[in-house]
A and B are shown apart, each in its own frame.
Chain A
């Protein structure tokens, strides 16, 4: 069986600086995979490329055997790969339910004419989207705010909304870009629980994060990048003790100390 997401030889250069260098990795269906690495190691750039937000300079990637190379972001999203952003994004003037509705509306097969004529098919699709939107908002604990404009949410709540919205269109793979950066510990536990719950429904997640503890406790596999290349790939236990990872990620001096601590 081939992996859900297959990335082969992804390369991205900025004016001679190679941000992502011939990077290959896979994400199996239904798994949670972490993507970590020091600042500037190419984590965000690599997911910007595979989600279509940055043109890649080389490489191919596919979801479930469907080639996504070079497609625009909206096509990649429709193919089943959605994402959240490091700078949390929401439609501030729309209610939470409207935010959820937008996230689903390109995937229910309703054409423009149907949308304007407002027949039964549209009403059923909209009702289904509202029901799923309410369910997901309840899952992330924002049910009370379903009718509120997104502008009223706190930073952490916006992160939860972004995760819920990324799930709306029933994607195969959700890429989360720093889902817990700048979030308080209570909210981190809540986001972790939400991610587990969503994963239990079968969606695969690829998570870019600086918070190593978060990644280690959540992911079944962790990929470590340094200078745009993969230096390690395996279960959290192995990654923790991998000397290359410790050297690259934590710095050489603290690497020894950490290695000692983890025995």
Chain B
């Protein structure tokens, strides 16, 4: 980690400049298409970042993220439209409920095995869609809840922010994404993140050293559920509708690809791949026929060149460097 220490000021500078540029985008271009890509990146990167925490750091394959995302979306939509809650409160309620559900499914399945969790999380995601479609009294069924209008947000200092323009959503979701990634970053760079990696790398060894795997796994699941729930709550107001398609497998697939290409367990890798994989499918729009074929090719190439993702490639380089014969080395 000594290299990280030296790189820290540089990294901080790069992050600051990058953030300034990102937040300035709506001022530089009114192009709604660019802003839509930004919203999509912010949303998907939070989902992928949460999945990375659960799968990449803790080693639990989870299909539940999309369920938390949709629960957050539905909860926020219902709270805001039916109960007149402000958007931020609705989104927080969505995040809270998603966290609760995450802890329940995690606690009930983690005592069995990692595989049990994967299966339970998949069943949970499928169940969410069925509930959203069939529990018509609450969810309004297959048609969903259309016409979502975000109420103005009260900001500190007595300001009111009317979220109506695409640029407002861009700032809102990007702002939340920054908070979410900062939180994930603080966790993964702390000893808690180290413990999660240890549990993924060798669970029995971790147990023999006093680490309680279930506790760390639940922490990862709870945090990822909280962030996915909140971002879901914000995102549905951008879409102006929440319906059962919020639980679509498309989201699961996209965030899994982002984590795998970025390198499970690599914070910056997954963030970078979230950005690249948001933009690439759109760069390929010049050919509608071959678009998905080309996208598939890009993914296959990425897997061939970086089998462990970006993070795995960095790790292999590090090992190779230490294995090189050194003067006087053992």
Question: Residues on B close to A: CB < 8 A?
Answer: 1-2, 186-187, 190-192, 194-195, 197-198, 201-202, 204-213, 219, 265, 315, 318-319, 322-323, 329-330
Selected from A92, A122, A168, the residue in CB contact (under 8 A) with B201 is: A92
Q: Known: A94-B194, A118-B190. Contact between A106 and B210, CB under 8 A?
A: yes
Residues of B within 8 A of A84 (CB): 208
B194 pairs with A103, CB closer than 8 A: no
| 5 A–B contacts, CB within 8 A, in A order | A91-B198, A94-B197, A106-B209, A110-B191, A151-B315
- The dominant DSSP class at the B interface is helix
B209 pairs with A102, CB closer than 8 A: yes
- The reply to whether the CB of A189 lies closer than 8 angstroms to some CB of chain B is no
Q: Known: A85-B205, A148-B322, A151-B319. Contact between A74 and B212, CB under 8 A?
A: yes
The 9 A-B residue pairs with the shortest CB-CB distance in the complex, in nearest-first order? A106-B210, A77-B210, A73-B207, A89-B205, A152-B322, A148-B322, A91-B201, A78-B210, A103-B209
A89 pairs with B319, CB closer than 8 A: no
B212 pairs with A116, CB closer than 8 A: no
In Å, the complex CA distance between A199 and B115 comes to 41
Interface centre among B207, B209, B265 (most CB of A within 10 A): B209
Interface centre among A82, A115, A145 (most CB of B within 10 A): A115
B211 pairs with A102, CB closer than 8 A: yes
B197 pairs with A91, CB closer than 8 A: yes
Residues of A within 8 A of B190 (CB): 115-116, 118
Q: Known: A94-B197, A112-B219, A149-B319. Contact between A73 and B191, CB under 8 A?
A: no
In Å, the complex CA distance between A169 and B209 comes to 8
In Å, the complex CA distance between A259 and B206 comes to 44
A51 pairs with B208, CB closer than 8 A: yes
Shortest C-beta distance, B206 to chain A (Å), equals 7
Residues of B within 8 A of A78 (CB): 210
Residues of B within 8 A of A101 (CB): 191, 194
Q: Known: A85-B205, A94-B197, A101-B191. Contact between A107 and B210, CB under 8 A?
A: yes
Residues of A within 8 A of B204 (CB): 53, 73, 85, 89
Residues of A within 8 A of B2 (CB): 147
Residues of A within 8 A of B322 (CB): 145, 148-149, 152
Please classify how large the interface on chain A is, using the bins under 10, 10 to 19, 20 to 34, 35 or more: 35 or more
A93 pairs with B197, CB closer than 8 A: yes
Residues of B within 8 A of A169 (CB): 209-210
Residues of B within 8 A of A148 (CB): 322
Residues of A within 8 A of B323 (CB): 152
Interface string of A153-165 (1 = CB under 8 A from B): 0000100000001
Q: Known: A144-B329, A148-B322. Contact between A82 and B209, CB under 8 A?
A: yes
- The reply to whether the CB of A126 lies closer than 8 angstroms to some CB of chain B is yes
Shortest C-beta distance, A120 to chain B (Å), equals 15
Shortest C-beta distance, B149 to chain A (Å), equals 37
Closest residue to B212 on the A side, CB-wise?
A74
Interface centre among A73, A107, A141 (most CB of B within 10 A): A73
Shortest C-beta distance, B103 to chain A (Å), equals 15
Selected from B202, B211, B213, B329, the residue in CB contact (under 8 A) with A90 is: B202
In Å, the complex CA distance between A256 and B210 comes to 46
Residues of B within 8 A of A103 (CB): 209
Residues of B within 8 A of A98 (CB): 1, 194
B205 pairs with A77, CB closer than 8 A: no
Shortest C-beta distance, B321 to chain A (Å), equals 9
- The reply to whether the CB of A6 lies closer than 8 angstroms to some CB of chain B is no
Residues of B within 8 A of A93 (CB): 197, 201, 265, 315
B205 pairs with A91, CB closer than 8 A: yes
Residues of A within 8 A of B186 (CB): 116
In Å, the complex CA distance between A149 and B329 comes to 15
- The reply to whether the CB of A55 lies closer than 8 angstroms to some CB of chain B is no
In Å, the complex CA distance between A151 and B330 comes to 15
Q: Known: A91-B205, A147-B1, A149-B319. Contact between A102 and B192, CB under 8 A?
A: no
Interface centre among A93, A98, A107 (most CB of B within 10 A): A93
In Å, the complex CA distance between A244 and B323 comes to 49
Known: A82-B210, A98-B194, A102-B194. 6 other contacts (CB 8 A): A51-B208, A72-B212, A73-B208, A92-B201, A94-B198, A151-B315
Closest residue to A141 on the B side, CB-wise?
B330
